[in-house]
Amino acid sequence: MPAPLSLLGELHTAISFVPIVAGLYSFARHGGIQPERRSGKIYLGGLALSVVTSFGLSSTGGFNPGHALGIMALLVAAAAILQERLSFLGRLRAYLKAFGLSFTYFLLWVPGINETLSRLPPSHPIGNGPDSPPVQMALLSWLILFAAGSLLQAWTIHRGHALSKARV
């Protein structure tokens, strides 16, 4: 049976629902996370708080892969937002922004999937860590969903460029 959540673990879990819900809303409503919209701002703020609160948590007693994924998510989010200032990238900027912010959502879920499947149901968890087959299967499914979603976003962006060209 997994160790019970500490107060910080409970706080981190509650905070982590903010970017999960805001990101899901953004994908459903806007086709992606858009930092200029309220849901995008909430997502990015929740992502930052989720990552920061994760640093007080560790089953190994120190820096772990979940912490590294959190740092990577923050760096990718910053790069996705800041790359818009690089005019030499041209139309590629829209694709990089969409992919980068979607990738942060993907990264947010990786430790979440592992922790959830390793803790639920409490009496007999589905998985027992990142090496267990149920967790690996769930992560593979999540990767496939991310890849399909990224392709859909790219196609939507491309179609938008094609439509705007046709109007000219």
**Residue 151 in domain:** yes
Q: Smallest Cα–Cα separation from 9: which of 73, 54, 49?
A: 54
Q: How far is residue 138's CA from residue 140's CA, in Å, rounded to a whole number?
A: 5
> Averaged over 30-37, what is the pLDDT?
94
pLDDT tens-digit readout, 87-124 = 898 889 999 999 999 999 999 999 999 989 988 888 89
Q: Smallest Cα–Cα separation from 139: which of 162, 167, 116?
A: 116
Is 125 within 8 Å of 83 (Cβ atoms)? no
Per the structure, the count of domains in the chain is 1
> Averaged over 116-135, what is the pLDDT?
90
* pLDDT at 2 (0 to 100): 59
Is 43 within 8 Å of 73 (Cβ atoms)? no
> Averaged over 9-26, what is the pLDDT?
93
* pLDDT at 3 (0 to 100): 63
pLDDT over 70 (residue 164): no
Is 117 within 8 Å of 134 (Cβ atoms)? yes
Confidence of residue 85 (pLDDT cuts 50, 70, 90): confident
Structural domain of 108: 7-167
The amino acid present at 68, given as its one-letter code, is A
Query: Is the pLDDT higher at 168 or at 53?
Result: 53
* pLDDT at 36 (0 to 100): 95
* pLDDT at 165 (0 to 100): 55
- List CB contacts of 120: < 8 A, sequence separation 6 or more: 126
> Averaged over 40-52, what is the pLDDT?
96
Mean pLDDT of the chain: 89
**Angle of CA points 91, 106, 152, to nearest 5°:** 45
Confidence of residue 162 (pLDDT cuts 50, 70, 90): low
**Residue 118 in domain:** yes
Q: How far is residue 20's CA from residue 40's CA, in Å, rounded to a whole number?
A: 11
**Residue 126 in domain:** yes
**Residue 1 in domain:** no
